[in-house]
Every structure is written in structure tokens, then in C-alpha cells.
Amino acid sequence: MKTLQSFSKTMALLLLIIFISCNTKPNKQTLQTKNEWSNRKFSMFIHWGLYSIPAGMWDNKKITGYSEQIKGHANIPTNEYRKLAKQFNPTKWNPDSIVLLAKKAGMKSIIITSKHHDGFCMFDTQYSDFNIVKATPYKRDILKELSNACKKYNICFGVYFSLIDWDYPKAMPFSSVRNSDSIPPAHHQYNLNQIRELLTNYGDISEIWFDMGSPTYKQSSEIRQLVKQLQPNCMISGRIWNNQGDFVVMGDNYKPEFKMGVPWQTPASIFNQTWGYRSWQERNNINQKIHEKIIDLINIVSSGGNYLLNIGPKGNGQVVNYEKQVLIEIGKWIKTNKEAIYETTTTPIGKQNWGYTTSKDQKLFLHIIDIPKNKKLTIKGLDINITKIYPLNNTNILLESTHKKNTLTIDLSPVLFNKYATVIAIEYKNNYQYIPLNTITANINNTFNLNTLNCEKYHSYSGHDYYSTKPTVVKMRWNILNNYNQNYKLKVRYKSNSKEKLCLCVNEQNHILNTNSEIINTIQLKPESINCIELVQLNQNNPHKDLGIENLDILLVAE
């Protein structure tokens, strides 16, 4: 009888687990696609089009504002702007050499502007004659050539597609809403038609990078549906808006100042002032620029993001030498330190006064940007069983370390420092434990009080256009340090403005919460170690949605 009881209990538990995993987890294919995307870390963005010819000058005047938007910023009438097409004959454009440059830079994919706000199509389209094949003396499909070169050299190919269009007569013209214009129905249909062409005629598209506009929820979801129907593995940028993207895009040249709980990317240009080629851009101190971009790459990767770095080739197709040099130098740095970049994960060790950390395959990587005084690097709160420590730029140099009261000290004196950043690898056995500064311990009654003030928040970045987009809280997490081997009663009370069910995960075991209610369960905590409690949405179909927590009290009371 007892066996039967425990058997049915086990079965019930199993069914529950299956139910939970079916409901909360996106399918395997989606996860794999997202992982492959996240693992790339570093990609090339290309802003290139008719705007690369005037290159930030109109009527002999320097035009400020992003140079790829010169049609808007210089108020150029459509018939005047269209004349640029007749001059577009990029004899210096060489897709193979672009791909080889991206590879040399350590970039894993290339995303090119198929159509920017000016409405000029860098691909052959049956829906507009204002395109590279029909309107220019060049007559060749740039996208086709670049996608083929990407295939040839085994690098992923993606496309940028602006949701606004200053050429298409039925779309909104350049206006005062700073490119967050609505999309009239005829324009939406035009967009859908061209998206279909892009996802049909150019082989596998690794990501489609929508930008700007202010589509309705219905428009965003129709676009998403079409993309996924044509290419289920094509990742969609968050600038499709209305939570329809697969990954979040930070503002132009912005890095998040908060922890992210979804795949994300920082799009960056070599100079913040422009993405398209600007002839009068001041380009001085290249070493400082290389330093800035390498540190940005490390910062972004250590926070779990991808770095999309732009080049703006000239109207004749030539890559600006300064930009080429920056990319080549980044590539040299990555070549030495690639293990600490690609396929790495974040670590609980936050930013340290000497730099950042990443991790992979039983190795912890310390990216040293500011060399510590006396060349003694310390990490507080780290309990780790070290087998070997060495710099990635000379793996034969073994470094000495001491470990006292959870403080690890590494002697860096034998290290030859790189002028940008030096990576130290720590190989370790088993799991390491890091006690974060915000670790919560029990109060005198052996009770843990968890709430929105002592949690660590994880964010997405969500909205219906560029300017409404803001951080949402998609996960709350508490690290608690338990000293005793005993059971705890778990009591939860909360108020949420969302109808979605929540899931409280204690050391990877799920407890489903019913809205605005209190549940009591008995749980076990691991003694003398960090226990992780997380609050997430049960249904992960929309990973960007805010948990909507208005107030929350979690009590763990010793039994």
C-alpha cells in the first residue's frame, strides 16, 4: 500500500514536472537558436546606401544628425534624393573582402542595411523600382552578393530593415516624431511583401534587424508570424516592438546599467554621431578608439550580451581605413583571448575594480583592465578549488595564488600585460561558490525575509517604439546563505497587476503561485551554502513581460 502511495505520489510529481516544463520552457529548437545567437557575441553591422555618397554634406553644408538620415535632416525632396541612385556605382565594393575583414575582426555574423529610412532598397525587389538593380548603373544585387560571400566563408548573414520609409508614397514622411511614425495599412503590406522577399531570396537569414516606426501590436505580431513562417530560425530584433522580438536591442550605443534576463544586444557605431559614412567625421587617436571598443566588448559579453559593431563604407564601396584598423586590432586581441569571449556565460562575480569576468568549461576568466596596485589581484567572497592559473597570452606562465577567509589573491607579477586588457584563466575542480555582496542571511529567529527591496532584479527592455521602451522586471532573485540543516516553511504573499501566473523557483524546484494569494509549502535549503530563490512568470511565451509585482513578502520560517 505504502509503495503504491509513494508510486502515485512520484507519478503526480513527474506529471507536474512535465506540465511545468511544457508550460514554462520555449521549445528545444527555439532554445538552440537563441543559444547559437547568444554564443556569437560579436558581429558586424553595415550601414551603406545612397546616403554614403553625400556622406553628411548637402549644398556644400555639413549636415548634423546621423548621416544615413541626411534626406530627413537636410530636407531633401524625394525627386532630388532619388537622383543619387544614378551616381551609385560602387566599384570598390568587394563582398569577399568585407567578409574576410569581419572574420579577421573575430565577428561571427554580418548584418547589412537592406533598406534604411530613405527607402532605397539595396536588394532586388518587385515592389519598388527605387532599388540597386533597377535604379543604379551598378545593377547588381548587393544583398545577393554579400549573402553568397557569407555562405562561402561560413559566417552568418542577417539584414537590417527599417519599418519607416521616406520614399514610399503611402508611408509617413520624415516628421517631428523622431522616426517613431505610425505605419499606414498600405505601408505595412509593402513591408510584409519585402520581408517575404528578403526571407525567401537570400538563403538562411540569421537575424532580421527591424528598426524604428511605431507599429500597432497587430502589425508587429503579423510581421513576427511571417518571419517565423518563412524562417523559424531567424532571430528577430526587439525593434519590431510590442514584445515580438527574440532579443532585446539597447538604445543606439547604449549599454544596460542593469542585469538582463533575456538575450540582448548593444548596437554600436565607431563614432556615436553617425552610422552611415560621414566625410567630415573627426577620426583621431585610434588607440583610444580601439581601447574603448575592446572594453565595451568585454563589458557587454561579461553581462551576457552581444556586441554589434558598425562600419559605414564610402559611396564607392571602400571601407574607411580608420574603421578597418580598429576592427583588425580588436580581432588581434580576440585571437589571443577568444576562449574568454565566445560561448561564455556571465558569472555571479560583478564588476570588480580591476575589470570583468566570464566563464566557460570549468574555467573562470578575469579580464583585467586596470592593473591592480602591487600586481596583487583580489576577489572577495570566492570559494574555489583551483587547479591552475595562467594568462591567456602565455599559457606557460603559471601564477601563484593564496586563499584566506574566502579572499583569493593572485600574484600577477610574471604577467606581460596587454595595452588594452589582459585575461587570466583560473581552472577549477567541481563548482565554485561566490558569496555575492547582497547575500541574505537569516534573522535571529532563523527566518528569512525576502522582498522587492532585497532582491536582485533582472530586466528586459520593452515598449511599443524607440522612446517608450524601458526596462521591465522579468525575474527577481534572492541569494540566501543558510547555516543549518533543517526544513523551512515557505510563505508567500504578493500583489501583482498582471494576470499571469508566477513561479517561485527554490534551488531549481518550481512552486506555482496563484495570483494574489498565499501559499505554504515545506522546503529544504542546502546547508552552509548559497541557495537561490527566483520569481519568474510561469508561462515564458512572452519573456519580456513585466512581473507586475506591486508588493511582495516571502517568509522562510524554520520548522
Q: Which is nearer to ligand H79, 275 or 356 (CB)?
A: 275
The span of 63-71, 146-154, 223-231, 521-529 binding ligand H79 (CB under 6 A) equals: 63-71
Which listed residue (48, 66, 93, 461) binds ligand H79 by CB under 6 A?
66
> 21 — phi, psi (to 5°)?
-70, -30
Task: Give residues with Cβ within 8 angstroms of 264, minimum separation 6.
Answer: 238, 247, 248, 249, 250, 256, 304, 305, 306, 461
Among 33, 109, 179, 347, binds ligand H79 (CB under 6 A): 179
CA 451 to chain centre: 28
Residue closer to ligand H79 (CB basis): 252 or 339 = 252
Identity of the residue, 178 or 429, whose beta carbon is nearer to ligand H79 in the bound complex: 178
**Mask 454-473, x = binds ligand H79 (CB under 6 A)?**
------------x-------
CA atoms within 13 Å, Cβ hemisphere of 168: 26
Burial class for 340, CB neighbours closer than 10 Å (0-12, 13-18, 19+): buried
Q: Which of 295, 226, 306, 302 is nearest to 263 (CA)?
A: 306
Of the candidates 145, 122, 153, 152, the residue with the CA atom closest to the CA atom of residue 135: 122
Among 181, 211, 246, 546, binds ligand H79 (CB under 6 A): 211
3-state secondary structure at position 334: helix
| Dist CA 200 CA 227 (whole Å) | 10
> What is d(CA 554, CA 558) in angstroms, rounded to the nearest whole number?
13
Q: Which is nearer to ligand H79, 162 or 220 (CB)?
A: 162
Site track 471-500 with ligand H79 (rule: CB under 6 A), x = hit: ------------------------------
What cell does 35 get? 543559444
Closest to ligand H79 by CB, 82 or 115: 115
Query: For ligand H79, which residue of 275, 356, 458, 478 counts as binding (CB under 6 A)?
Result: 275
d(CA 191, CA 131): 15
Find the shortest distance in angstroms from Cβ 65 to ligand H79: 7
Closest approach of ligand H79 to the CB of residue 114, in Å: 12
What are the percentages of helix, strand and coil residues in the chain, rounded to 5? 30, 30, 40
Q: Which is nearer to ligand H79, 177 or 435 (CB)?
A: 177
Q: Which of 50, 55, 63, 68 binds ligand H79 (CB under 6 A)?
A: 68
Please tell me whether residue 251 binds ligand H79 under the rule CB under 6 A: yes
Span from 62-70, 74-82, 84-92, 539-547 in contact with ligand H79 (CB under 6 A): 62-70
Segment 14 to 53, residues that bind ligand H79, using CB under 6 A: 47
Give me the residue whose beta carbon is nearest to ligand H79.
179
Among 98, 112, 212, 399, binds ligand H79 (CB under 6 A): 212
Q: Binders of ligand H79: how many residues, by CB under 6 A?
A: 13
Answer for which of 145, 252, 292, 343 binds ligand H79 (CB under 6 A) is 252
Could you say whether residue 267 binds ligand H79 (CB under 6 A)? yes
User: Which among 384, 304, 307 has a CA at the least distance from the CA of 344?
Assistant: 304
Q: In the structure grid, which three cell numbers stand for residue 517, read together? A: 494569494
Binding window for ligand H79 (CB under 6 A); candidates: 20-28, 65-73, 485-493, 535-543:
65-73
H or E stretch covering 522: strand 518-524
At its nearest, how many Å lie between ligand H79 and the CB of residue 45?
7
User: Applying CB under 6 A, does 303 fall inside the site for ligand H79?
Assistant: no
Strand partners, 479: 532
Judge contact between 264 and 250, C-beta under 8 A: yes
Beta carbon of residue 414, minimum distance to ligand H79 (angstroms, whole number): 44
Nearest to 133 by CA among 194, 93, 92, 88: 88
Exactly one of 33, 38, 43, 69 binds ligand H79 (CB under 6 A); that residue is: 69
Q: Which residues bind ligand H79 (CB under 6 A)?
A: 47, 66, 68-69, 178-179, 211-212, 251-252, 267, 275, 466
